[in-house]
Structures are given as structure tokens and as C-alpha cells.
Amino acid sequence: MTAPRTSFSYTFAPMATLSHEALRRLIHRYGDPDEYFTEMIHAPSFIRGGKFESWYVRTGPSPDRLVWQLTGGDAEPLAEAARRLVRLGGMGIDLNMGCSAPDIARFGAGISWMTKDRSITLDMVSRVRAAIDAEDALSSRGGRHRLSVKLRLGLAEDYENLYSFCRELVNAGVESITLHPRVKSDSYSRPARHAQVSRLAADLGVPVFGNGDISTAEEARTYRETRGCSGLMIGRGAVTHPWIFRDLAAAGSAERIDHREVAEYFLEALAVCQPPEFQLSRARRFFFYYCDNFTFAHHIKMKIQKAQSPEAIGALLDQYFVEVPEDRYVLNSRTGETPS
């Protein structure tokens, strides 16, 4: 049995070093998702006013669709960061309870919130909700910012424990949950357990979004029709195909994609939207996924990973399209047809 659904939303996932304004600008050129999640904002660093924090909180190009994702291991900085961020606008605050990276988990953040004594986690959620509500009450803009959580299945696949945890999160003030249906130890080579998303969506009573292993618009449409949830969060699929949300919203033929022009636009946006210290690493990260569009993906990826500047990456792509001209264009991103 699946939960009744009256609408379905597509969201852009929070991904470290990827979900920044430059990539959002690129996606926006083709068509926005319903929501853009930011990359993780480290609450203590944000409060301290760290050197690079202002770059993490840029709101373009669609501020009204932005969801701020927070990470941290203690309640007080998370609540204070949430209070400050809702002043900047956006749709709401998302608490990261799913990241299993060792550097995150060992400081009590990410998936660690799923393993702490529940009273500690629920107290944190309640404090963040109260901080958001207090700031909203003072705002002249009106409206209310949503509080959501993105999480995994946990340390092991135990649905009853997952459901109980999510139910208590809702009671503490969480209004939406995104489930990446893998356990902590799973790598991306292990298929996501999407049936758990359907089950949680049917049982929980608040919007549940799925996440994981969706790479194309066709796969996303199938997910929408079969999973019985409120929406789908797309991450790496939107990096490889920045036009995916347009394809999900539109019908009929699509404009031709010029991969060189996409790369040029992204590199120009990166120069504006990221500090010089971050531009090369963010460019390498983006093209690690985007180059999957190309016939000789591994070859050009490895060259880009060794490049010493964004300009050098652009030059490498120019040379690639001279050598493999048939890779430069895709006529219709929905059908994969290329120009004759």
C-alpha cells in the first residue's frame, strides 16, 4: 500500500564541493528544480565567521527555492546557525543526519545523530525548530521556514527502528524527511534500497523524499510513478545532466546541448561564485561527473584531474572536441539524438 499523493517535487541534492551557486546557475539556465539544497554549511564555522563562509551562503540564482543544509555535532551552534540563515531567506533548514564521511561522523555530526541517545538528538531538533520559529516571528516577510532532515537507513537495515526514529523527529518539529536508503557502511556500488522509501512514505504522515541512484529523467519519471513518495532528490544525475529538471518539466523536443558551451559557462560562473582557493578543486569535481557524457570519459577525466587551473581545464576540453568532434553536441537530451 502506498500513501496518497497529490503532487510530486524534484529537488537538487546537497553535495559537498558541488551544490554551490555556480552549479545552481548552470542548472537554472535550463530549468529549476522545485528546491535547491545547499552544500553542507558547518554551523560552528558559520557562526565564527570563517574566511570562506560567505561563499557558502550565496543565494543565487533562485533564492526562493533555496534550502540551507546544516551540519554540526552540537545543538547550540546548529540552532544559532539556523536562526541566522533564515534571515537570509530561502525555504527552510535541513539537518544533515546522513553523511557517513569519517571526518563528519567522528565529530558527532552527520549520521552520528542517528546513533546518539535519542533524547540528545530530539533536544537538538527541538532547539533548532524553536530558533527558526523565533526568528520567523520577528520577520516582516511573513511565512514560516520548514525544518527537514536528510538521513540514511542507519547503521543497519532495521525498518522498525528507522520508522520510530523518524516518528520522533516529526514530533520534535521536523516537517519533511529525505531518505537515502543505504546503511552507513554501504558504498555507492551497493544499490539503494528504494522499497524502504515507499514504506516510510506510506507510514510516516509527512512528506518523504527518496534519494539515490537516479541518473536520467526516464529513471526519475519511473520513480515518481512507482514509489508513492512526495518527491525525489537528484544529486549526481543533475551534475552529469544539468538540464535534467527541464527534461522532467517539459514535453516534446529540446534544444541542442553544446558541451563546450556548458563547460565554458560553468567555468565563468565558478570564477564569480567561488573564491580563487576553491575554483580548481570545484572544477575538477564537477567535470569528474560531467565527463561521463563523453565517449572517452576516463581519458579526459584523468587529464582534467591533473590540470593546474580552470583555464587549463578549458583548454583540455577544447582539444578534446577537436579530437572527438562527435562528442561536442547532443541534439535532444531526452532522446540522446546527435546532429547528423
Condensed to tens digits (0 to 9), the pLDDT of residues 255-276 reads 789 999 999 999 999 999 999 9
Residue 93: beta bridge partners? 68, 147
Instruction: List pLDDT tens digits, range 109-124.
Output: 999 999 999 999 999 9
Instruction: Give the H/E segment covering residue 7.
Output: none
Of residues 141 and 199, which shows the higher confidence score?
Answer: 199
Q: Which cell numbers hold the place of 57?
A: 551562503
Range scoring the smallest mean pLDDT among 27-41, 142-156, 245-259, 277-291: 245-259
CA 89 to chain CA centroid, Å, is 18
Q: What is the mean pLDDT of the chain?
A: 94
pLDDT (mean) for 1-15:
73
Cis? peptide before 61, omega within 30° of 0: yes
Query: Which of 264, 257, 268, 279 is CA-nearest to residue 315?
Result: 264
In terms of phi and psi (left: phi > 0; alpha: psi -120 to 50; beta: otherwise), the region of 330 is beta
Q: Which residues of 269-302 are buried (b: 16+ CB within 10 A; e: fewer)?
A: bbeebbeeebbbebbbbbbbbbbeebeeeeebbe
pLDDT (mean) for 297-314:
98
CB 109 within 8 A of CB 72: yes
Residue with cell 555535532: 73
Instruction: List pLDDT tens digits, range 152-207.
Output: 999 999 999 999 999 999 999 999 999 999 999 987 778 999 999 999 999 999 99
CATH superfamily for 9-245 is: Aldolase class I (3.20.20.70)
Give phi and psi for 151, each to the nearest 5.
Answer: -145, 175
Instruction: List pLDDT tens digits, range 273-299.
Output: 999 999 999 999 999 999 999 999 999
Per-residue pLDDT at 1: 28
> Model confidence at 58, in pLDDT bands (50, 70, 90)?
very high
In terms of phi and psi (left: phi > 0; alpha: psi -120 to 50; beta: otherwise), the region of 205 is left
Per-residue pLDDT at 253: 54
Per-residue pLDDT at 254: 64
Q: Is 52 helix (H, G, I), strand (E, B) or coil?
A: coil
Residue with cell 522545485: 34
Q: Is the pLDDT of residue 320 over 60?
A: yes
pTM to 2 decimal places: 0.94
